[in-house]
Amino acid sequence: MSALTGEDAPPQAPRQHYLNVTYGVRSWLLTLDHKRIGLLYLASITVFFLLGGMFAVMIRAELVTPAGDLLQAETYNKMFTMHGLVMVFFFLIPSIPAALGNFLIPLMIGARDLAFPRLNLLSWYVFIVGGLFTLFAVVQGGVDTGWTFYTPYSSTYSNSAVAATAVGVFITGFSSVLTGLNFIVTIHKMRAPGLTWFRLPLFVWAHYATSLIMVLGTPVLTAAVVLVALEHLLGIGIFDPKLGGDPVLFQHLFWFYSHPAVYIMILPSMGVVSEVISCFSRKRIFGYKVIAFSSLAIAVLGFLVWGHHMFVSGQSVYAGMIFSFLSFFVAIPSAIKVFNWTATLYKGSISYDTPMMYAMGFIGLFTIGGLTGLFLASLAVDVHVHDTYFVVAHFHYIMVGGALMGYMAAIHFWWPKISGRMYPEGWGRFSALVIFIGFNLTFFPQFILGYLGMPRRYHAYPDEFQVLNVMSTAGATILGVGYLIPLIYLIWSMRYGPRAGSNPWKAKGLEWETTSPPPTENFLTTPLVTEEAYAYAAPDVEEQEGARVG
Amino acid sequence: MSQNETHVLPLKIYLLIFAVLLVMTGVTVQVAYVDLGFMNTVVALGIACFKASLVVLYFMHLRYSSSLPKLFWVAGLLWLAMLITFAMSDYLTRQWIEQPQGWARNRGISIEQVAKQ
Ligand SMILES: [Cu+2]
């Protein structure tokens, strides 16, 4: 750490940067600067994260005892529904792309802003309006359908604020599409001179793949919501068998978006891990092109596996076989990435700063999450563990152990760039450790619970499951503390942290060549790119490496 | 930059496309009164895709833009095809396996009779 930040003169902040160029609420709410819009997103998703976290607290508190004593069954249904809804649509999906991608992509490609700054601001407002509808639904008494809105819970038999929530999800989808479109056009059209496709940071490749999913997948979710509304308002038979519809069709449409949506959450994190692993191993990333293309492969293959959520839904077993087979297939590009990161570490000069600790956590937890996904993709095993805590544990290993660890790595890695100040490194490592321990204590017992047969989405359970549930709740408490510590010290560091200087990690990449915080126009002169990404190794070592790796 | 050139189409073409769109709407309505069996949906979706393509190609000038936007248009159609194909892999093969009848069969009643009750 000291070797990385040690400079002769203490670093100074630039006299003028994007944070102090103008002041006042108006200057933020009407800003067209991608960096400020990124921070608007960052603040909003933090609020949603805390809200979603509060619902999780209620769930875990109820499950301390086998009897359904703290919450009634109906209230409990609402708690897990709103936990899922807020965390998926209002935290995880916008998290890295809309907040950090927004901030970093123009900086990484040497551009002054995204291609459509006004569209970018619009996407934030659309997101907020969608969020307000969902909050309104919470105030109205909440939703109890599960975040998946399966018909007929959400149609014929809906008995809660489904309409307001559906409108919220419908609106938020547009914000996602706008962000994705903006990224695609920006990455195609606004790269600095010399920045060819294969010199792009892998963070940018990951966001390109993510944007494709956002643009090609989200409209299907929107259409599914509209169809539910049309059936409800006009009586057109789409999902209701009484009218000639098929409830399973809703699951097809929903998962066509929502399985790829998992990759909207995880791909950006994978991009972050590529950046961080390479920087803190002081080594060029192993197999650059393979990692880049595996992101695209995930984006495409991810659309062909949705039926693995429907093995016991009444879907044809033949369709089930196809979806099962393709689900095994989609594991390959993910595994390629994990092996490449591991190979990057090999013989690297590794330092364990906070971002690196989160990135290492990501690799381990994502691997467990991915491998248990293969259990669930197997037709016969899935019949046993379907809708049990095994599934809950699996996707939390992906979404929290994977996506959220990557998000934390990213926040710490680029915090000096965003705020111009360093966070306290000791506290950073400490909280990374707390989060890792808390996470595993929360979710590992859930694998066992699920395998033993505890179903998800019930507020009561048989006595013999109590020990594991208490462990899980204890872990969740530790995890909660682990998230509060960074929240406190990051806010503290905005004012009191030591000045970071433009490149505290001695990292490669255009974003580190401008000041911290960057000026509004990002670069005073357009940068010219003459080398590959991640050119960390000394020239002579680089030649040997090049000869061996190709 | 060739993409930035604006292509001004003669008004005649716009009116022609508009007329075709109206005619196709009429066709959709008329076809809805003819029972084509499973082709009902296929025909309706085919006409809809054709109309959408006309709007995209002429009104949104895709025909005169570079190959990249065209690629994205093709991707959109491809993704729609993926959605339909893989969803149909369910609907077209559901009947291949006899549905279990459970207790109803043991008592000598058919599922249809149960549904009526
Ligand atoms: Cu899935």
Cα dihedral value B43, B44, B47, B49, nearest 10: -110
String of DSSP letters for A70-135: SS-HHHHHHHHHHHHHIIIIIIIHHIIIIIIIHHHHHHHTT-SS-S-HHHHHHHHHHHHHHHHHHH
Give strand pairing partners of A455: A388
Helix (H, G, I), strand (E, B) or coil at A194: coil
- Write down the pLDDT at residue B37: 82
Binding-face residues of B in 26-85 toward A, CB within 8 A: 68, 75-76, 79, 82-83
Residue A60 Cα to ligand 1 middle (Å) = 24
pLDDT tens-place values along chain A, 550 residues long: 444 444 456 777 788 899 988 888 999 999 999 999 999 999 999 999 999 999 999 999 999 999 988 999 989 999 999 999 999 999 999 999 999 999 999 999 999 999 999 999 999 999 999 999 998 988 888 888 889 988 888 887 777 788 888 899 999 999 999 999 999 999 999 999 999 999 999 999 999 999 999 999 999 999 999 998 888 888 888 998 888 889 999 999 999 999 999 999 999 999 999 999 999 999 999 999 999 999 999 999 999 999 999 999 989 999 999 999 999 999 999 999 999 999 999 999 999 999 999 999 999 999 999 999 999 999 999 999 999 999 999 999 999 999 999 999 999 999 999 999 999 999 999 999 999 999 999 999 999 999 999 999 999 999 999 999 999 999 999 999 999 999 999 999 999 999 998 999 999 999 999 998 999 999 999 999 988 899 887 544 444 444 444 3
- Intra-chain end-to-end CA distance of chain A, in Å: 32
Q: Which residues share a beta bridge with A388?
A: A455
Ligand 1 midpoint to CA B80 (Å): 19
Nearest to B79 among A303, A306, A307 (CB): A303
Nearest CA in chain A to B69: A185
B8's tokens:
């001004």
Any idea where the domains of chain B sit in the sequence?
1-64, 66-95
- Taking the centre of ligand 1 as the mean of its atom positions, its distance from the CA of residue A122, in whole angstroms, is 30
Structure tokens at A7: 């400079």
Q: What distance in Å separates residue A244's CA from the closest CA in chain B?
A: 14
- In angstroms, the CA A203 to CA A195 distance is 14
- Model ipTM value: 0.87
CB contact under 8 A, A307 and B93: no
| Angstrom distance (rounded) from CA A547 to CA A351 | 26
Whether residues B90 and A248 touch (CB distance < 8 A) is answered with: yes
Are A486 and A411 in contact, with CB atoms under 8 Å apart? yes
Rounded to the nearest angstrom, the minimum Cα separation between A375 and chain B is 22
Q: What does the H/E/C string look like for A14-75?
A: CCCCCCCCCCCHHHHHCCCCHHHHHHHHHHHHHHHHHHHHHHHHHHHHHCCCCCCCCCCHHH
Alpha carbon distance A300, A209 (integer Å): 9
In CATH terms, the fold of domain A31-544 is Cytochrome C Oxidase; Chain A (1.20.210)
Contact list, A323 vs chain B (CB under 8 Å) = 86
Pick from B68, B76, B96: CB nearest A318: B96
Nearest CB among A220, A304, A316 relative to B90 is that of: A316
What residues of A are in contact with residue B97 (Cβ under 8 Å)?
Answer: 316-317
Contact residues, chain A, for B94 at CB < 8 Å: 315-316
Distance A395 CA to ligand 1 centre (A): 9
Best residue in B90, B91, B92 for a mutation probing chain A (most A CBs within 10 Å): B90
**Residue from the list A188, A217, A319 with its beta carbon closest to the beta carbon of B90:** A319
Helices (H), A235-353: 247-281, 288-301, 317-345
Query: Which chain A residues are Cβ-neighbours of B75 within 8 angstroms?
Result: 212, 216
Residue B19 to chain A, least CA–CA distance (Å): 28
